[in-house]
Amino acid sequence: MSDENPICSAKGCRADAVWVLAWNNPKIHTPERRKTWLACEEHREHLSQFLGVRGFLKDVVLLAEWEDRAEEGG
């Protein structure tokens, strides 16, 4: 078990991630597949827009909530 906090996926950002952006590229992923980016408060909007304009963005949830979902196994 790692004690390192997840870090924001934005280029050059070392801030702790607060948000999970779940996305899917229909050209390369099956519809139920979810890729995830992590984002700090500052970069959530920027990264969401990047995925959103491409039609890839599926969900934006708090990291804590995402981990709860994962534990539920579904």
* Interacting residues toward Zn ion by CB under 5 A: 8, 10, 13, 15, 40, 43
Query: Which CB, 21 or 43, lies closer to Zn ion?
Result: 43
CA-closest candidate to residue 21, choices 43, 54, 48:
48
* Structural tokens at position 50: 């990047």
User: Would you say 22 or 39 has its CB closer to Zn ion?
Assistant: 39
Is 50 within 8 Å of 74 (Cβ atoms)? no
Can you list the positions of beta strands (E) in the chain? Answer: 19-23, 35-39, 57-62
Min separation Cβ 3 and Zn ion, Å: 20
Residue 23: CB minimum distance to Zn ion, A: 17
CB of 45 to Zn ion, least distance (A): 11
